[in-house]
Structure 1
Amino acid sequence: MALSLETAVAYVPRVTRPCHFEPDILEFNEGVLAPYGMRFDPSYAAGGSNTTFLELAEGVLRAALGPLPAPDLLIVAYALPDPHAPEKTLAAHLTRVFDGRPMSFAVSEQGLGAPFTALRIADAYLRSGRCRSVVLLILEQTSFPYPEPFAQDGGLVDSAVLLALGPGGGWELAGVGSAGPHCDLADLLGNPPGLPRDERPGERLVVTGSWGDSLDLGPAGPKAHQAPPGSYCTGVWLEFARHHEEWRDAYRTIVFGDVDPRTGAGHVATFTRRERAAGNERRGHP
């Protein structure tokens, strides 16, 4: 058995909240920044949305159509931190949505590779017999009370993706891979892990992030789709949530690939189409 996509939801809120930090949160952030010679300055976040990870997580959970399946494992993945609520252990807090049943933890300090690492961990849990179903929440908030040019100058917007993976979905996780700094994304995508050996021309779609140039895979190569600008670690996964059903009608394999603009490390994940089973999937939200 392999994990497969049962539910996918994309959530991009368009709200702005006043910038406010409680004294204890201010003190915490000052303590974190001081060793790096950085100063806590709320003016940097004054023009931002000031949306927290908790608000993003609850928003994407509400956006799901119908009740979510109760998972054995809940993983929160993110590339950029949330300075608004550092005291909250979000993954453990969210288990209440599922009656406290799932194991839970977060994956961070991986850049945009965090969701790929989370999928690799989820697959390992499945193979070890420790879970049969997983909910993966990929979160990105973009308001920081200190200079964070990557977010502040990069046009990033708050976003969240929910991927519910279990035994009965339509896109099966076939493999996850990575490469070190200065990797060639085209080479990494050319031979991804889990690619069907009997794949025929036109059956594969390659989905890449917005940071690199669009790939020229040639007339005989796979079809290509590039995520639009506006996200760091959520880009390809937002596209998966928005288009997984229409892509299932057109392709046998989807390969997601991205290169972290900060480190040059590359990541890929391969999903292969399963035969349709009525009632096993729900449509994600734009």
Structure 2
Amino acid sequence: MPWGLRRAEARRFPAPAARSGDPAHAARLSTYLSDLLAQDGLGAPDGMASGHSYGEMALPLLPAEPVDALVLAYDIPDIEPGRATATWLSHVCPGGPMAFAVSDQGRAGAFTGLRLLRDYALSGTYVRALLLVAEQSSLPYDPGVPVEVPASHCAVAVHFGPSTLEAGSPRIVRGARPSDVVDMVAGAETVVLGSALAEHASDVKADRVVLADPGQPMTGVWEAMASVDGPVVVADYDPALRYLCVSAFG
């Protein structure tokens, strides 16, 4: 059977992480961030009590069955930078999977993670795979560049393995225009579009078009995909990096 999408589950977290309310943790994090920000002449951090931990968000989404490989994809930094989250998840996830994180690629990070998992699976090395896409809504400092901060803490677990919804190799096109998505997804049964592509929804030739929550820059398309049954094409665009990303399942 081909390798592909088995299921997806999304969850939002209305309350901040338990560690965010710990005064000792907040003091250490403030010192750590202040030292980093001072090097670039940026102001002191503030508002850390509302942040969330990617490890804490991912824990309830881990499967009961063993996993061979796990990738955590994120863009907004974790409120708990002192923990190597992917390594920790490898320890607590059934199967003790090979695990690592993908970041600093904006919305393309999840698609890169999927490409890596697919390549491993097709080599016969790690067939049962888990892609965790997460974003927390607290950025307690000015990064000095425009950043779209999500409205809510959200994490999505996408499970892969033997499936009739075969996963093709994700396409990540640099320097693309948002309108390029129309040709790239033409003829699909169901298309999920990221918020930066919503204005082109009426031009997409598909049986069904689902729009991601505009308040969730990175997890939006994967959260929307979790609500769709059957073959689906997921498309997202990072306006800052000008990456157009498309993945087809089935």
Residue type of the partner of 2:177? D
Q: What TM-score does the superposition give when structure 2 sets the normalisation length? A: 0.86
Task: Determine which of 25, 30, 39 is the counterpart of 1:26.
Answer: 30
2:140 is aligned, of 137, 140, 145, to 145
CA contact (8 A) 1:189 1:257 kept: no
Aligned pair 1:9/2:3, yes or no? no
**CA deviation after TM superposition for structure 1 residue 23, in Å:** 3.7
Asked if 2 retains the 8 angstrom alpha-carbon contact of 1:3 and 1:173, the reply is: yes
Task: Quickly say closer, same or farther: Cα 1:176–1:220, change in 2 above 3 A.
Answer: closer
Contact 1:6 1:164 in 2 (8 A): yes
- Would you say 1:266 and 2:244 are equivalent positions? yes
Which residue number in structure 2 is paired with residue 38 of structure 1? 42
User: Which amino acid in the other structure matches residue 33 of structure 2?
Assistant: N
User: Closer, same or farther in 2 for the Cα pair 1:221/1:103, shift >3 Å?
Assistant: closer
Aligned equivalents of 2:93, 2:241: Cα separation in 1: 36
Counterparts of 1:177-196 in structure 2, within 5 Å, are: 177-181=171-175, 183-191=176-184
- 2: CA distance, partners of 1:191 / 1:218: 12
Of 107, 129, 135 in structure 2, the residue corresponding to residue 134 of structure 1 is 129
Deviation (angstroms), 1:224: 1.7
Match status 1:209 vs 2:188 = no
CA distances 1:224-281 after superposition (whole Å, capped 9, x unpaired): 221122111111100111x233xx2xxxx42111111222211111111xxxxxxxxx
**Who is 2:218 aligned against?**
233
Report the TM-score when normalising by structure 1.
Answer: 0.76
Q: Which residue in the other structure is 1:115 paired with?
A: 110
Distance 1:206 1:185, change over 3 A: farther
Counterpart residue number, 2:67: 71
Verify the 8 A CA contact 1:2 1:174 in the aligned structure 2: no
Q: Distance in 2 between matches of 1:184 and 1:68?
A: 41
Change (3 A) 1:2 1:220: closer
Distance 2:126 2:27 in 1: 40
Question: Could you tell me which amino acid in structure 1 is paired with residue 156 of structure 2?
Answer: V
Give the Cα–Cα distance (whole angstroms) in 1 for the partners of residues 136 and 22 of structure 2: 14
Q: Give the fraction of aligned pairs with identical amino acids, expressed as a percent.
A: 29
Q: Deviations over 1:174-228 (max 9, x none)?
A: 23101112x1334245235xx9xxxxx6x52121111333324559655322112
Within 2, Cα distance between the matches of 1:91 and 1:220?
Answer: 38
Residue 85 of structure 1 is aligned with which of 76, 80, 94?
80
User: RMSD value over aligned CA atoms?
Assistant: 2.5
Amino acid at match of 2:147: F
Q: Are the aligned partners of 1:74 and 1:104 in contact in 2 as well (CA < 8 Å)? A: yes
Pair 1:210–1:191, CA change in 2 (3 A): closer
The one of the two structures with greater contact order (alpha-carbon pairs below 8 A, sep at least 6) is 1
- Answer yes or no: is 1:124 the counterpart of 2:108: no
C-alpha change, 1:221 and 1:28, in structure 2 (3 Å) is same
Q: Secondary structure at the match of 1:101?
A: coil
What amino acid is aligned across from residue 175 of structure 1 in structure 2?
A: S
Identify the residue that residue 198 of structure 1 maps to in structure 2. Answer: none
Whichever residue aligns with residue 180 of structure 2, its letter is D
Aligned amino acid, residue 78 of structure 1:
Y
Distance 2:41 2:136 in 1: 23
Deviation at 1:39, TM superposition (A): 2.5
1:185/1:257 contact within 8 Å kept: no
> Is the 2:8–2:157 contact (alpha carbons within 8 Å) kept by the matching residues of 1?
yes
